[in-house]
Amino acid sequence: MTRSTALPIVLHPVTAIVLTTVLVTGLTGADWRQFRGNDSSSVAPGEKPPVTWGETENIAWKIPLSGRGLSGPIIVGDRVYLTSSDGFNQDRLLVECFDVKTGVRRWRRSFQATGRTQCHPKMANATPTPASDGKRIFAFFSSNDLVCLDLDGNLLWYRGLTHDYPNASNSLGMASSPVVIGDTVIVQVESQSESFATGLDVTTGTTRWHRKQHRFDNWSSPIALINTDPARNLVLLQNMVGLTALDARTGKEAWHYDQPASRTPSSVVADGTIYIPSNGLTVVRPATDANKPPQIAWKNNRFSSGTPSPLVYRGKVFTMNGPIVKCGDTSNGKLLWQLRLKGAFTSSPVAADGHLYYFGENGMTYVIDISGAKGKIVSENELGATILCTPAIADNSVFVRSDGHLWKISR
Amino acid sequence: MTMTRVDCAGLLRTVSIALLLATPTLAHAAEPAELISTIKSVDKKAKGNSEAGRAVTELSQAEPAVLLPVLAAFHDANPLAANYLRSAVETIVDRAIAAKKTLPRKLLESFITDLKNEPQARRLAFEILQRVDTSVVDRLIPGMLTDPSPLFRRDAVARLLDLADRLGKEGQPDLAGTLYKRALTGATDDDQVRAIAKPLRKLGEKLDLQYHFGFLTQWQIVGPFDNTKSKGFNVAYPPEEKIDLKATIKGKLGPASWKPYKTTDDFGILDIAKQISPYKGAVMYCTTEYKAKAASSVQIRIGTPNAWKLWVNGRLVFANEEYHRGMKLDQYSVPVTLRAGSNTILLKICQNEQEQDWAQRYQFQIRTCNVSGIAVHPADSAASLPQTKESRP
């Protein structure tokens, strides 16, 4: 086998996701440990969150927050972890831990940003979603501060990546979330003035590898391409010049897909197949020869993505551009149906129990049943706040935050 | 007042050393100091990360008595080390509060009010004290209008603003105006300055906000030079070699010579696109002389949506090649050392060729201030309008 042979594609999707999850982090399936979940798929297998809620319906708890953020909550065991940024200059960085069952805050740590904190007013310094390996929390901020804490809030190490690389900043704000692959935490920092990706030792924060990237703005997040042999795990870096696969532990390039890709929505991996927001949507399968670029399975320029990332669920791929959700057949890219929602969407959708959850910027959430031949909106739920984060699903619940509050939506 | 603070600082140092020696839960008396020293050795690119992480873990187990020495250690800590120290402080406090242990309230308050202590550490001490004594806000914040910490100043200004707004609505404009003027003495964030200036001007007050912020408003400018495909950013045109204000230089559109420009904008924005020309694919050089009263460390703070390079006395101090990603007051802070007397500031400001409506701005604002954001004025500058003592921070 060559290094680029990924998960066997004959696996049932759910089996593959579970296997992938276990291989990456050794977890049991109830966690939601990073942006778009444990495997960046946005899918929560086995979870049954409610499909309707309101101010007094199916809200387990709602707690006030002291800082702003577009970062999503993550769930590790019986705890919710969340980042925020506070202050006139967004330079106060907060990492907080809450009890999953009660919402009671267990601890909060604050730090002072060491990098530039300027963002577009819609964004916040706390835009990247934190990540966890089940033992540690990696909280990353637009200012390129990367904080590693244990689950009880004890600081293990701290990196100020703008302190190290002073030009790595974007005055609109950075958004790329970290990803943990094995014992390496990887961040992708790309801007006009300086760009790089780096893999850091999870235990010490020391640099395992550092790679200069093209100097273009980029807000997409790295994702993992997991192999049955953990030594062959790859990290996929998406940007304006394509998608590059690197050995997650060494940073050595495995292959490169050379068509321009979007700079905001992130790719998704399902069954060893990569769905790239490029030329609409381009679906590639890694070649068996590690030195060759991946093979294109299909592409369809009708499946372009706005800010929300694509999602693959139960043999279908879903993209969103503006308020339009499109559903395609993963086998051939054929458009199956489309739905028009209302409003603007920054949050990426999440999926569980046969439903997709689309959180609108205006606080309205559309829950779509995808079990039929056509998608059906089964509920429209109002939270009454601006929602820009990608939510988490765990404990048969949805966890979502605004600038002001964190909710647990649960039966 | 100064003597009191000096005395207080000396007392705190003595107490801190005594507490270090007396901390009972640690195996060796000097251990907290050693741990602090280890933490302060952490540096860029993960240097000393492992050791600092272990030291924080150990230090976090200490009793609340160690809080003051740890806070005092912020004094010369680099920004990374300060965050390690901060984490230790917060962990110690969490444990102490959970165990219903007494925090050293009086010492914390003394630490806060001693202006010689590091501003971030003072603010952290304030937040700790606030957790166990909410009255500290009303007790201390009103007296912090000219505090070295911008956070304390902001809080003090906010209280005065609220009160002045209320008095204005209640039909007491004179009293409101007095409070607005007092608030302006501490305001350095542009939102607060705007919120103060608007009602004050309605009341007929003349304000020189350029002076308030310390903007550099008079420049000699030459250009345009070629920046087609943004390649001019890395081309050293003649002004980078030598500034000769009498020279005629070959530019993109023919011979170019230095010309004087000034801005009258409240926030010091010199708009090249409007005041000179909306050049595209262009480089402009802007220079000004800054007369410093004495050799000093200051910050040059820049706001611009364009790519730029900055030299002080011929030395390149920072460069940023970013176009049209927003502009904000104090967008970039560059620490520089000025010599006594004349200093030459040279700004290279570049416009690219983007055609979108939102990519047409070609402008900058520059001010000189201290690390706290309070204006530092050139020796030969003066407010263009009569300034009361109250209107100068």
What ranges in B99-215 are assigned the alpha helix state H?
105-113, 119-132, 136-140, 150-169, 173-184, 190-202, 209-213
Q: Which of A218, A168, A236, A221 is nearest to A390 (CA)?
A: A221
Please compute the mean of the pLDDT values over residues A74-82 and round it to a whole number.
Answer: 98
Q: Mapped to the 3 state alphabet, what secondary structure does B198-220 carry?
A: HHHHHCCCCCCHHHHHCECCEEE
Residue A205 in contact with partner chain B when CB distance is under 8 A: yes
Chain A partners within 8 Å of B44 (Cβ): 160, 163-164
Confidence (pLDDT) at A329: 98
List the single residue in B84, B319, B325 with the smallest CB-CB distance to A172. B325
pLDDT bucket at A30, cuts 50 / 70 / 90: confident
Residue A28 in contact with partner chain B when CB distance is under 8 A: no
Where b means 16+ CB within 10 Å and e means fewer, A72-94 reads bbbbbeebbbbbbbbbebbbbbb
Q: Which of A157, A158, A165 is nearest to A188 (CA)?
A: A165
B4 burial type by CB count under 10 A (0-12 exposed, 13-18 middle, 19+ buried):
exposed
CB pairs < 8 Å spanning A and B: 104
Residue A47, SS3 per DSSP:
coil
Q: In this model, does residue A19 exceed pLDDT 70?
A: no
Beta bridge partners of A366: A358, A380
Interface test with B, best of A152, A171, A198, A217 (most B CBs within 10 A): A171
What chain A residue is nearest to B189 in terms of C-alpha separation?
A: A88
Contact by Cβ (8 Å): A267, A245: no
Contact by Cβ (8 Å): B284, B220: no
Confidence (pLDDT) at B381: 78
**Cα of B127 to nearest chain A Cα, Å:** 11
Task: Report residue B232 as tokens.
Answer: 């001019």
Residue B143, SS3 per DSSP:
helix
Pairing of strands A223-225, B218-226: unpaired
Cα–Cα distance, B222 to B217 (Å, whole number): 16
Q: Report the side by side order of strands in the sheet with B296-303.
A: B270-271, B363-369, B296-303, B332-338
- Segment (H or E) for B10: helix B2-22
Contact by Cβ (8 Å): A61, A102: yes
Chain B partners within 8 Å of A96 (Cβ): none
Cα–Cα distance, B377 to B296 (Å, whole number): 12
Cα–Cα distance, A166 to B344 (Å, whole number): 24
Q: Mapped to the 3 state alphabet, what secondary structure does B44-84 carry?
A: CCCCCHHHHHHHHHHHCCCCHHHHHHHHHHHHHCCHHHHHH
Are A112 and B326 a contacting pair at CB < 8 A? no
Confidence (pLDDT) at B233: 98
Pairing of strands A355-359, A273-276: unpaired
Q: Which of B164, B248, B216, B231 is nearest to B346 (CA)?
A: B216
Chain B partners within 8 Å of A169 (Cβ): 322
Confidence (pLDDT) at A293: 82
Each residue of A226-272: pLDDT tens digit? 988 888 899 999 999 999 999 999 999 999 999 999 999 999 999 99
ipTM of the complex: 0.92
Contact by Cβ (8 Å): B63, B46: no
Confidence (pLDDT) at A290: 61
Task: Report residue A356 as tokens.
Answer: 């997709």
Chain A partners within 8 Å of B83 (Cβ): 111-112, 114, 147, 155, 158
Task: Report residue A374 as tokens.
Answer: 């056509």
Confidence (pLDDT) at B384: 64
Pairing of strands A59-64, B218-226: unpaired
Distances in whole angstroms, Cα of residue A283 to Cα of each of A16, A302, A317, A335, A370? 18, 13, 10, 14, 21
**Size of chain A in residues:** 411
Residue B247, SS3 per DSSP:
coil
> Taking the mean position of all CA atoms in its chain, how far away is CA A24?
15
Confidence (pLDDT) at A198: 98
Percent of chain A past pLDDT 90, that is, above it, reads 88
Task: Report residue B117 as tokens.
Answer: 């202590």
Per-residue DSSP letters for A322-390? Answer: TTEEEEEETTT--EEEEEE--S---SPPEEETTEEEEE-TTSEEEEEE-SSSS-EEEEEEE-SS---SP
Contact by Cβ (8 Å): B336, B297: yes
Q: Which of A64, A97, A94 is nearest to A79 (CA)?
A: A97
Q: In this model, does residue A73 exceed pLDDT 60?
A: yes
Q: In this model, does residue A184 exceed pLDDT 50?
A: yes
Residue A2 in contact with partner chain B when CB distance is under 8 A: no
Q: Residue B312 corresponds to which amino acid?
A: V
Beta bridge partners of A223: A236
Q: Tokens 């795990």, residue? A: A233
Each residue of A90-114: pLDDT tens digit? 999 999 999 999 999 999 999 999 9
Pairing of strands B307-312, B296-303: unpaired
Give the single-character DSSP code of B17.
H
Give, to the nearest 10 degrees, the angle between helix B150-169 and helix B119-132.
Answer: 60
Cα–Cα distance, B43 to A72 (Å, whole number): 30
- Residue ranges in chain B modelled with pLDDT below 70: 1-30, 383-393
Residue A177 in contact with partner chain B when CB distance is under 8 A: no
What chain A residue is nearest to B327 in terms of C-alpha separation?
A: A171
Contact by Cβ (8 Å): B150, B372: yes
Confidence (pLDDT) at B9: 46
Which one is predicted more confidently, B151 or A287? Answer: B151
Q: Which of A372, A410, A364 is nearest to A47 (CA)?
A: A410
